[in-house]
Amino acid sequence: MTQINENYLKLKAGYLFPEIGRRVKAYSDANQSAKIIRLGIGDVTLPLAPTIVNAMVDAAKEMGSSAGFHGYGPEQGYSFLIQKIIAHDYTARGVQIAEDEVFVSDGSKCDCGNIQEIFSLDSKIAVVDPVYPVYVDTNVMAGRTGEVGSDGRYANIIYMPATEENNFEPDFPKEKPDIIYLCYPNNPTGMVATKARLTEWVNFAKKIGSIILYDSAYESFIQDPEIPKSIYEIPGAKEVAMEFRSFSKTAGFTGTRCAYLVIPKDLKGKTKTGEEISFNSLWNRRHTTKFNGVSYVTQKGAEAVFSAQGQVEIKEQISYYMQNAKLIREGLATAGYTVFGGTNAPYIWLKTPRGLKSWEFFDELLGKAQVVGTPGSGFGPAGEGYFRLSAFGKREDVISAIERIQKM
């Protein structure tokens, strides 16, 4: 009989969000009249902006003509989109990025999960705890970790706790990692990294010879002009970091699927014999082998995000979600909860009341208020005793949810 990849058996019972779905379904089946408000999974609720829709409609019409039809496109992405990405996200910030350093994909989740393939299985990873589960789970699947311990941590992973005690700013690991996963604005805590702190991370990675995998999927929600939106705003970062970006939350592409990964050609690793190899070339080989590119229609929609009118429309949507975040944060504070985040990110991270465990609070919130959030422990052991609420709901649902919570 064919053998399985036994690394999958190391994974905990189930991926976090399907487990939430299972519990909500069980409650809903038993309480069919209940109106459940979902502020758990970070899925957007506003429709695509009109300028984006129009661009996609026009592109679809092109595809219906002989002259405008597009078959396989460049796996790395069409130049018309990459040029807009570079101009808007990098050149405008004084950062020089070449076209062949940008790879368009179908989502940052996919990129964050797949990127580990170009690193040696002997590579040791460091993650902030709590952490976006994909960073850990995909390394477990690949065989880069040991078994999970009784404390919820996998052997051979360096965990960097981020809690209220250290203001959710993890210390540098004492053990040397080969790969450091950073996410700012952070999912799930909603915290951000200052330019000074990011500079320290870049200098640390340079000193010890590590690579930073920088997930900036929520950069468009940063309100403070002093907070960097790209790690490449830090001198020297192109030598030690690759950056993950997404249209999912920025422009509502969670169901449309489009993202991009920046890997500078200066970013290098080495073989066992000491030969230096560009990670850009490795990812390009992986990307062109396993991926046929994002559809032309989708990329034309993504291009429209960078138009003058597209920017106006998506900024209105971001403002809508950030107003939701403000309502949640202030409403919870009024109810006596200790809250974090929600000022430069669409996530609010709260301390569970009365010493409740994260899943205990999940069940209480669902049972008493019919509101769904995300248990902090699902993001890692340091998330125990915390809870995440998302600002991506509809305004009326957000207001109703807070009113319900305040009555608990």
218 is in an annotated binding site: yes
Let me know: does 379 contact 229? Beta carbons within 8 Å: no
Cβ–Cβ contacts within 10 Å for residue 184, how many?
A: 27
72 is in an annotated binding site: yes
The label of the residue with tokens 């040791």 reads 124
Cα angle value 20/24/27 (rounded, 5°):
145
H or E stretch covering 324: helix 308-334
Let me know: does 116 contact 138? Beta carbons within 8 Å: yes
247 is in an annotated binding site: yes
Cβ–Cβ contacts within 10 Å for residue 74, how many?
A: 11
8 is in an annotated binding site: no
Rounded Cα gap, residues 125 and 348, in angstroms: 27
Rounded Cα gap, residues 278 and 268, in angstroms: 4
- Helix (H, G, I), strand (E, B), or coil: what is residue 340? strand
187 is in an annotated binding site: yes
Angle formed by the axes of helices 296-305 and 50-63, to 10°? 150
5 is in an annotated binding site: no
337 is in an annotated binding site: no
Rounded Cα gap, residues 387 and 375, in angstroms: 5
Let me know: does 296 contact 63? Beta carbons within 8 Å: yes
248 is in an annotated binding site: yes
- Helix (H, G, I), strand (E, B), or coil: what is residue 76? coil
Dihedral-angle region of residue 190 (phi above 0 means left; psi in -120 to 50 means alpha; beta otherwise): left
Let me know: does 162 contact 188? Beta carbons within 8 Å: no
Let me know: does 72 contact 288? Beta carbons within 8 Å: no
132 is in an annotated binding site: yes
Tell me, rounded to whole angstroms, the distance of Cα 146 from its chain centroid: 25
108 is in an annotated binding site: yes
Rounded Cα gap, residues 100 and 119, in angstroms: 20
Q: Where is the binding site, in residues? A: 15, 42, 72, 108-109, 132, 187, 218, 246-248, 257, 292, 388
Q: Where is the binding site for substrate, in residues? A: 15, 42, 109, 132, 187, 292, 388
Q: Where is the binding site for pyridoxal 5'-phosphate, in residues? A: 72, 108-109, 132, 187, 218, 246-248, 257, 292
